[in-house]
DNA sequence: AAAATATTGTGTTTAATTTACACAATAAAT
DNA sequence: ATTTATTGTGTAAATTAAACACAATATTTT
């Protein structure tokens, strides 16, 4: 009972158990975050993947993930992990869903929380692109490590839905973009063809596009005007169109 | 190094560390599930709450929650916890969001995954109703234990959105219901008034209501016809109306 | 049994939104 | 000057949503 075992192992016990008093330590579980980072390039929707950490999965690509630390906010962990894996620290992350099947991870019991983000590939040249990270065409993502294909599929679905309710797409485009680029983006995300005239009508009606008085350069045909997304105008006109299908 | 300390504490170490080899045990975190159970009674939307386990929060109500076990699927944990707290085992639970602020729980670091469900109060007389559980009016839920008010608010928002995209509401009603009851339900969930004629038109057009050839009983005025929700018809006509605002 | 009460059941008109669709204007390349 | 590829624009038809009123019917009251 009162006997105290000396040595490293006992220290381990104490540090393990000290943090949380009322919560039984035997019930603790490893928790990870996996980030689904979408980009848009060459008129295709892309997703940023990394080579799996684990040997068993070395041949497969995986989402950008890592364990959450016990003294770290869940959201903060997502930002930390993204920063760590890519160097990116100025992007918005949004929680998608948590995945907790018992054997989803070969290294043991790990529950993971998926986050997703939209980034502009041009503006965010990845600092850490040492062959461990790669932008994949969303359309050609086949199997990923662990259950990451499931996570990716749900995240894509979520993106498709979100983008029809809110003007999120802009974070995937350069600051100045033509309406054709914008339409290409929506077509890529939703995997559908849209009518050009109706598309333009709808976006102009929403009243958050600002004409930059510039046109596209170096095209072998008539160039389009360039616009930017005005966040303040968006906030002001929100209620009028929020929830409308694009 | 090789010294082995005898006694209970060493056993504890081993059992703690044995389960997961590759995943560092120092990174493990307590994980819980909290269930937001909605019901509908007396034309009001209700939520099932329990008295908080913790002394510190005894005066407050809390969501139905408990820790997830290390060898248990996340979804399974939600069903287990609901069963344990209420006796209910035939309801559908849906994951809402995970909450992981560092100090959200006074008992230590606990990340929680919220689930929500719609149940029919009449059909599911709670087996365990020993003053520890109570159906609260959603409208009058003020502060709850921990961050449960935040969790509840988000779950309600989610419900309001979901119910406009899919015909979920039926699980809150008796098998046979009048159109007035159905409308009351939608008005309660969305906190808005709906036009009776347009409401009826919309639901009949969706073509999943079956006329039971019965009418309401014991009313001091003209009774309404009773209908039931036909899941097969719903599946068949899904595409035609899915996503339409009710 | 007649009258009062409270609610059900039903249709139409108008407005708003979505869809379908074609041609002239323009910048670059030849 | 011509060709090329794409931009920019408007209208009509169809669909969907919103607004709105009165007769029919069980029950209760007198």
A225-229 sheet: strands from edge to edge: A177-178, A225-229, A209-215
Is the Cβ of A2 closer than 8 Å to some Cβ of chain B? Answer: no
Query: Which one, of B125, B127, B46, lies nearest residue B85 by Cα?
Result: B127
How far, in Å, are A217, B74, B135, B169, B210 from residue B177 at the CA level?
A: 64, 34, 21, 12, 10
User: In this model, does residue B11 exceed pLDDT 50?
Assistant: no
Domain parsing of chain A, residue ranges: 2-163, 173-240
Complex ipTM above 0.85? yes
Span B206-212, average pLDDT:
95
Q: Can you give the pLDDT at residue B218?
A: 87
**Cβ-defined contact of B7 to A3 (cutoff 8 Å):** yes
Nearest Cα residue in chain A from B67: A27
Distance A198 CA to D11 C1' (A): 12
- The pLDDT tens digits of the residues spanning B101-128 come to 999 999 899 999 999 999 999 888 887 6
By DSSP bridging, strand A110-118 and strand A28-41 are parallel
Query: Which one, of A90, A70, A82, A83, lies nearest residue A19 by Cα?
Result: A70
CB of A213 under 7 A from strand C? no
Instruction: Indicate which of A1, A68, A111, A115 best probes the interface with B, i.e. most B CBs within 10 Å of its own CB.
Output: A111
CB of A142 under 7 A from strand D? no
User: In this model, does residue B15 exceed pLDDT 60?
Assistant: no
Residues B181 and B192: their CA atoms lie apart, in Å, by 15
Give the DSSP H/E element, type plus range, for residue B48: strand B44-51
Q: How many Cβ atoms are within 10 Å of A152's Cβ, its own excluded?
A: 24
User: In this model, does residue B214 exceed pLDDT 60?
Assistant: yes
Q: Can you give the pLDDT at residue A238?
A: 72
Q: For strand C, which nucleotides have at least one atom less than 7 Å from a protein CB? A: 5-12, 17-22, 25-29
Distance of CA B86 to the CA centre of its chain: 12
Query: Which one, of B102, B163, B194, lies nearest residue A68 by Cα?
Result: B102
Q: Can you give the pLDDT at residue B25?
A: 78
Query: Which one, of B55, B81, B53, lies nearest residue B67 by Cα?
Result: B81
Q: What is the largest CA-CA distance in chain B?
A: 85
Mark out the alpha helices in B67-190 (DSSP H runs).
Answer: 74-86, 148-165, 179-190
Q: From the CA of A44, how many Å to the nearest CA of chain B?
A: 26
Residues 6 or more apart whose CB falls under 8 angstroms from that of B117 comprise: B35, B36, B37, B38, B82, B91, B92, B93, B94
Mark out the alpha helices in B87-136 (DSSP H runs).
Answer: none
Q: Can you give the pLDDT at residue A56?
A: 74
CB of B198 under 7 A from strand C? yes
Residues B207 and B230: their CA atoms lie apart, in Å, by 9
pLDDT tens, per residue, chain A with 246 residues: 444 445 445 444 443 333 344 466 789 999 999 999 999 999 999 999 998 877 777 789 999 999 999 999 999 999 999 999 999 998 999 999 999 999 999 989 999 999 999 999 988 888 766 678 999 999 999 999 999 999 999 999 999 999 999 999 999 999 999 999 999 999 999 999 999 999 999 999 999 999 999 999 988 999 999 999 999 999 887 766 544 344
Q: Can you give the pLDDT at residue A237?
A: 77
Is the Cβ of B100 closer than 8 Å to some Cβ of chain A? Answer: yes
Confidence of residue B211 (pLDDT cuts 50, 70, 90): very high
DSSP A104: S
Q: With beta carbons less than 8 A apart as the criterion, state whether B138 and B38 touch.
A: yes
Give the DSSP H/E element, type plus range, for residue A74: helix A74-86
Residues 6 or more apart whose CB falls under 8 angstroms from that of A228 comprise: A175, A176, A177, A209, A210, A212
- The pLDDT tens digits of the residues spanning B141-167 come to 999 999 999 999 999 999 999 999 999
Distance A222 CA to C25 C1' (A): 9
- Number of Cα atoms under 13 Å in the Cβ half of residue A210: 10
CATH of domain B2-163: 3.90.79.10
Confidence of residue B21 (pLDDT cuts 50, 70, 90): very low
Residues B137 and B131: their CA atoms lie apart, in Å, by 16
Span B65-85, average pLDDT:
96
DSSP B131: S
Residues B159 and B165: their CA atoms lie apart, in Å, by 10
Confidence of residue B244 (pLDDT cuts 50, 70, 90): very low
Facing residue for B100 by CB, picked from A16, A54, A74: A74
Query: Per DSSP, what are the bridge partners of residue A46?
Result: A39, A137
Q: Using DSSP, how many helices (H) and how many strands (E) does chain A show?
A: 6, 10
Q: Can you give the pLDDT at residue B240?
A: 60
Q: Can you give the pLDDT at residue A52?
A: 81
- The pLDDT tens digits of the residues spanning A60-97 come to 999 999 999 999 999 999 999 999 999 999 899 999 99
Distance of CA B225 to the CA centre of its chain: 29
- The pLDDT tens digits of the residues spanning B122-140 come to 888 887 666 789 999 999 9
- Number of Cα atoms under 13 Å in the Cβ half of residue A204: 9
Facing residue for A71 by CB, picked from B54, B68, B102: B102
Q: Can you give the pLDDT at residue A27?
A: 92
Q: How many Cβ atoms are within 10 Å of B113's Cβ, its own excluded?
A: 27
Is the Cβ of B97 closer than 8 Å to some Cβ of chain A? Answer: yes
CATH fold label, B173-240 = Arc Repressor Mutant, subunit A (1.10.10)
Residues 6 or more apart whose CB falls under 8 angstroms from that of B195 comprise: none
Higher pLDDT, B50 or A244: B50
User: In this model, does residue B20 exceed pLDDT 90?
Assistant: no
Q: Can you give the pLDDT at residue A23?
A: 60
| Sign of the four-CA dihedral A36, A40, A45, A48 | negative
Query: Which one, of B175, B158, B164, B176, lies nearest residue B203 by Cα?
Result: B164
Confidence of residue B200 (pLDDT cuts 50, 70, 90): very high
Is the Cβ of A29 closer than 8 Å to some Cβ of chain B? Answer: yes
């Amino acid at each position: 009972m009162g006997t105290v075992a000396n040595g490293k192992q006992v220290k381990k016990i104490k540090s393990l158990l000290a943090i949380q008093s009322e919560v039984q330590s035997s019930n603790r579980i490893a928790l990870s975050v996996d980030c689904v980072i979408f980009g848009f390039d060459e008129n295709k929707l892309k997703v940023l993947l990394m080579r799996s950490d684990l040997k068993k999965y070395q041949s497969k690509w995986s989402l950008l993930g890592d364990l959450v630390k016990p003294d770290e906010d869940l959201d903060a962990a997502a930002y930390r992990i993204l920063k760590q894996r890519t160097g990116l620290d100025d992007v918005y992350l949004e929680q998608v869903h948590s995945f907790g099947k018992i054997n989803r991870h070969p290294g043991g019991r790990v529950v993971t929380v998926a986050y997703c983000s939209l980034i502009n590939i041009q503006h965010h040249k990845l600092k850490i692109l040492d062959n461990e990270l790669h932008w994949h065409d969303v359309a050609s993502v086949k199997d990923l490590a662990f259950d990451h294909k499931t996570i990716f599929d749900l995240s894509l679905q979520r993106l498709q839905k979100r983008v029809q309710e809110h003007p999120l797409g802009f974070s995937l485009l350069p600051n100045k973009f033509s309406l054709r680029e914008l339409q290409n983006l929506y077509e890529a995300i939703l995997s559908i063809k849209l009518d050009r005239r109706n598309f333009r009508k709808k976006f102009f009606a929403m009243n958050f596009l600002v004409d930059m008085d510039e046109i596209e350069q170096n095209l072998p045909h008539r160039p389009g005007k360039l616009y930017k997304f005005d966040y303040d105008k968006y906030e002001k006109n929100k209620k009028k169109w929020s929830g409308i299908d694009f």
